[in-house]
């Protein structure tokens, strides 16, 4: 895995207190374009756009560009409803990039409530990457158990300490031999079958764009954002389907997901 596609957390979960250091960047000194909408609820109209893009992507048969998955066995495994766990931080530009295909995949199986507009750190690489935050979000689904943990704000202040079971997962599987580097974010755990440590989508393709610009790009088959994001959403969807006792056929047997399934790593 390319080490540039991940961020390390400043402290390991196993230390008990989730010690993300305050980085000292104040929202007050950030440019107006960066702070517009940040931290506000995503309105129903935008959620509807995301849902429509998500379901239209099921017909896209482009292969995924970069898999970056590892196979594992164990941890929090649910026999019928896949346990999906995301660990990231609002400041992280690689988390910002991963959230887009992750949200598109999740919306195929349920609904997200409380999702907020977010931008990555103003002082990191690919500053102010437009994205969303799971900090206040709730996911409702009859077939998937998803939990998203944003451990720090875009200014580096601590937000959430994941529960012990999630910290144990992170410390065990976000480290060699399952991951190239220990303690990297974003980290995505897929029901004891796969992990992603780092982002399969490079944030450079989103840099300088707005939420509306990215949403528009996700409707244009020739746009690089479309060609990166939609296949990765289909790959995540294929991974979700692998852990289901009764996968919904309209999603899991769709053309895009059927193609993506061939790119899942073999046990």
User: Residue 253: which pLDDT band, with cuts at 50, 70 and 90?
Assistant: very high
Q: How far apart are CA 209 and CA 216, in angstroms?
A: 11
At 212, list the tokens. Answer: 């509306």
Q: Classify residue 59 as exposed, middle or buried by CB count within 10 Å of its CB (0-12, 13-18, 19+).
A: exposed
Q: In what order do the strands lie in the sheet with 83-88?
A: 70-71, 194-197, 187-190, 83-88, 145-150
Give residue-wise pLDDT tens across range 101-156: 999 999 999 999 999 999 999 999 999 999 999 999 999 999 999 999 999 999 99
CB-CB contact of 76 with 104 (8 Å): no
Helix then strand then coil, % of the chain, to nearest 5: 35, 15, 50
> Where along the chain do its domains lie?
3-13+36-261
pTM: 0.88
User: Residue 8: which pLDDT band, with cuts at 50, 70 and 90?
Assistant: low
């Amino acid at each position: 895995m390319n080490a540039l596609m991940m961020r390390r957390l400043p402290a390991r979960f196993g230390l008990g207190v989730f010690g993300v250091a305050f980085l000292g960047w104040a929202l007050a000194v950030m440019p107006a374009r960066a702070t517009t909408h940040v931290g506000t609820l995503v309105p129903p109209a935008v959620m509807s756009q995301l849902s429509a893009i998500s379901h239209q992507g099921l017909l896209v048969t482009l292969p995924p560009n970069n898999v970056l998955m590892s196979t594992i066995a164990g941890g929090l495994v649910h026999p019928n409803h896949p346990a999906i766990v995301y660990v990231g931080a609002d400041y992280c530009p690689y988390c910002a990039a991963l959230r887009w295909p992750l949200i598109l995949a999740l919306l195929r199986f349920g609904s997200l409530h409380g999702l907020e507009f977010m931008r990555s750190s103003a002082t990191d690489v690919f500053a102010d990457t437009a994205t969303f935050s799971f900090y206040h979000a709730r996911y409702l689904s009859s077939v998937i158990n998803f939990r998203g943990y944003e451990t720090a704000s875009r200014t580096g202040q601590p937000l959430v300490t994941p529960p012990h079971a999630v910290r144990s997962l992170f410390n065990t599987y976000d480290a060699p031999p399952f991951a190239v580097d220990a303690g990297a974010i974003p980290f995505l755990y897929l029901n004891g079958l796969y992990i992603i440590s780092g982002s399969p989508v490079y944030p450079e393709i989103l840099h300088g764009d707005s939420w509306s610009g990215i949403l528009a790009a996700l409707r244009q088959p020739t746009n690089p954002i479309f060609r990166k994001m939609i296949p990765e959403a289909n790959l995540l969807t294929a991974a979700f389907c692998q852990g289901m006792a009764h996968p919904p056929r309209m999603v899991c047997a769709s053309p895009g997901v059927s193609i993506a399934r061939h790119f899942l790593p073999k046990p």
